Amino acid sequence: MKDLFTIQTESGQLWLDIKAQLDAKDAELVELTASHAEAIAAKDAQLAAQDAEAWDEIKAVATKHAAAVTELEAQHATDLAKAAADLAAAVDAEGRAVHNRLDALVQAGQEAHAKKDLKAIGKVLDAAFAYTSKARKAKLESELAAAQTAVTAAAAKLAALKP
């Protein structure tokens, strides 16, 4: 069997042509590899820029979302405070009204008693019973249930806003 040197010697010019072709192919391959590496680097840079742009957009949206949530929570807190103040004012007004009605009933009862007017005393008792009847109690319980439902709904809205 012939060794490589013998083949090279016997081939003469043919070996040089083959070697030149192989060297040209190697150079072309090196050039293609460099071109491919440049294309990959350019694509990587493009993707990195797109990634950075997308990340900046995500951060901007997250910032807007956080600001909106903060604004909604502040508005909700304001609404709850106003509702609580309104409810407290309504309770206070109702308390004063009940107190005034009771004062009026006591005064009417005292006047009827002083006159020994049984009909007037009966009317005072009927009026007092109207304020303490089951119907009045049911109405107050209904109003309380409605207020509690409103508070529960507001709490649910607030809970839904929390991230």
Q: Which pTM does this prediction carry?
A: 0.45
- Residues 24 and 66: their CA atoms lie apart, in Å, by 62
* pLDDT of the residue at 162: 65
> In the predicted model, is pLDDT for residue 8 greater than 90?
no
Binned at pLDDT 50, 70 and 90, residue 137 comes out as: confident
Question: How many Å apart are CA 93 and CA 51, to the nearest integer?
Answer: 62
Question: Domain residue spans in the chain?
Answer: 4-161
Confidence band for 48, pLDDT divided at 50, 70 and 90: very high
Question: pLDDT at position 15, please?
Answer: 65
In sequence order, the 6+-apart residues with CB closer than 8 A to the CB of 128 are 105, 109
Tokens of 106: 């006591």
